[in-house]
Copies of this chain bind each other. A is one copy, B any other.
Amino acid sequence: MSRRYVNQLSNGDTVDEAFLVSDKQLRANRQGNLYLHLELRDRTGSVGARLWNATEELARSFEPGDYLLARGKTQIFQGSLQVILSHIEILDPARVEPEDFLPQSTQNIGRLYNRLRDVLLGMQDPHLRALVECFLIDEEFVAKFTAAPAGIKNHHAYQGGLLEHVVSMLNVADRILGLYPDVDRDLLLTGIFLHDVGKVAELSYDRAFAYTDEGQLVGHLVMGVEMLRDKVERTADLTGEPFPNELLLRLKHMIVSHHGALEYGSPKLPMTLEAIALHYLDNLDAKLHAFGREIRDDPSRESAWTPFQQSMGRRLFKGTPRNAPEPDDD
């Protein structure tokens, strides 16, 4: 039987579900009695919860990142829903479906991945195609690449988000490359595939989304170059020739320059046609995705504007929505 998700709860509901604990605090009220304040989440969102009359022993028995079976009742507190808990119970992670507890792409991962394969393995250049193959025959890599989010907060911040972002960019590139004949098709497509590849190890995304130590200390641009080097060394097994040096330089350059400016963390400015195209296609897709989501998800019906978005430095205008057609099917 399918669970009731956080985004389906309303005031006065009875709750009896598994949740991922994303925050835990033991507090005392004014009378000195201890209570637990928890944040419980599943893949659709999070909700605050309180367990009155808690003990230190109970509080020590689990940590954020653990799963709990939580029973209780919802109510509104200071304008937000919370769960007043009557009972909690630590769950064996083996008994839950991890994908229930992290935000997920709404698209079909398998279809996205097939589309990625089709576009990339259809390239003419034997070296670039061999390079992509070296990535795609690495099952551990593919498992991570199809599970990773594209970020922890901004655009595509859900499992499968990285794949969704890359496939969306490949689709755009596939459609417009014919209009820009100076741009090398296979180079741009490979650059799109690789530009954020370092994120599979920059982020951790099996329970909650976070940066790994390596992600914070080194970053996905440099990590992506390292991953590229590892695979490039193996393409000769497929092609019988060494990977062309200039082609490798152009790929590394696309990875390190794709943020487009030093102050955004790229140590080099884009200096090739494919690098500049990659930079703008990446921004176009990421920003349209992030803006679209903010506008669609904004719950308020009273204002034509979203709240101020710190990371964008602005509010977005929702206005009166105009009618939208169905998306294409690539």
Contact = CB atoms under 8 A, between A and B. Distances in A.
A14 interface: no
A75 interface: yes
A325 B181 contact: yes
A105 interface: no
A222 B262 contact: no
B250 A217 contact: yes
Interface in A295-330: 295-296, 304-305, 313-317, 319-320, 322, 324-328, 330
With a 10 A CB-CB cut-off, give which of A262, A269, A281, A305 has the most chain B CB atoms: A262
A26 interface: yes
A172 B181 contact: no
Contacts of A28: 75-78
B273 A218 contact: no
B75 A322 contact: no
A32 B75 CA distance: 7
A287 B257 CA distance: 15
Contacts of A252: 217-218, 222
15 contacts: A34-B76, A175-B175, A182-B295, A182-B296, A217-B250, A219-B256, A221-B267, A250-B319, A262-B263, A265-B268, A272-B316, A273-B291, A276-B287, A276-B291, A280-B283
Interface of A: 25-28, 30, 32, 34, 75-79, 168, 171-172, 175-176, 178-185, 187, 213-214, 216-219, 221-222, 225-226, 229, 246, 249-250, 252-253, 256, 262-269, 271-273, 276-277, 280-281, 283-284, 287-288, 291-292, 295-296, 304-305, 313-317, 319-320, 322, 324-328, 330
